[in-house]
Chains A and B, each alone.
Chain A
C-alpha cells in the first residue's frame, strides 16, 4: 500500500499531538501525503468541498471542540463518497462508551495514545506495517 502513497487525513485539535504524528511519520519513513483538520467540522468541510484529494485513511481524535470524533464518524458513514474510508481512532479517551460507539461505526482500530513519544513511535511503526499489508 505504501508504494501507492495513499492520502491520509489527521483530524486532531491538539497542535502538540499533530506535531507528534508528523514526527512519528517522519521517523518511520511514512511518506504518504498528510492533511490535517482541527476538528470534525473542518474535516467534513475539507472532504465535502474536495479541497483535499480523497484520503484512504483517516486518523481520528475523539475529544475535539465544535464536532467530536464520534459525531464526525456518524456523518461520514452516511455519506456515499466517504463511508468506506478506513478510520483509525487515536485518542487519550479510555471511555468504554467511546470504544463502543467507534466500533459500532466500524473503525478499523481504536488506539490509546501512549504517554511517551517512544511508545507512540512503536505504535505508528505497527500501524505502518499493517497498512502495508492491507489493500485499500
Chain B
C-alpha cells in the first residue's frame, strides 16, 4: 500500500508517544494522527478537524472507555464514507468484554499488546509488514 493516514485513538499521552516513537524507529511510511478520545476522533473523520484523504486505518483500545469504543466503531460502520476503514483494536486490558462486539463489527484484528517500548517495536513491525502487503482503493 502507498502512503496512507492512520488515526490512533487513545487518551494516554505516554502511550501515544511510545507508538509514535515506534513508528519512527521502524520507519513506518504512513502518516500517524492521534485523537485523545472518540469525540475528537469523530471530528477528525467527519467534522471540523477532518483529515483528507480519510484515514485508511484506525488503531483504538476499545477497553479504555465503557461502551464508547463500540459505539464509535458502530457509527463508523454505519457511515457511507467511513465504513470501509480498517480497524485494529490494540489493548493491554486483561478483560476482553468488548472483544465479541468488536469482532462482530468486522475489525481487521484484535490484538493484545504491551505498551512498553522494548516490546512495542516487534508488534508494530508485524503490523507494518501486514500493511505493506495489502492494497487500498485510491478513492477519497
Contact = CB atoms under 8 A, between A and B. Distances in A.
Interface string B107-140: 0111110000000000100110110111111110
B106 interface: yes
Range, interface on chain A: 20 to 34
A130 B132 CA distance: 12
Contact of A130 (B96, B103, B105, B109): B109
Range, interface on chain B: 20 to 34
Interface string B91-113: 00000100100011110111110
Contact of B139 (A100, A106, A108): A100
A10 B117 CA distance: 37
A84 B106 contact: yes
Contacts, number: 74
B83 interface: yes
Nearest to B140: A100
Contacts of A109: 86, 108, 130, 133-134
A106 B106 contact: yes
B137 A134 contact: no
Contact of B109 (A94, A112, A133): A133
Contact of B112 (A86, A104, A108, A135): A135
Given A83-B104, A130-B109, A100 B133 contact: no
A104 B104 contact: no
A103 interface: yes
Nearest to A77: B106
Interface string A104-121: 101011111000000000
B30 to A, nearest CB: 15
A106 B134 CA distance: 13
B83 to A, nearest CB: 6
A123 B133 contact: yes
Interface of A: 77, 83-84, 86, 94, 96, 99-100, 103-104, 106, 108-112, 123, 126-127, 129-130, 133-136
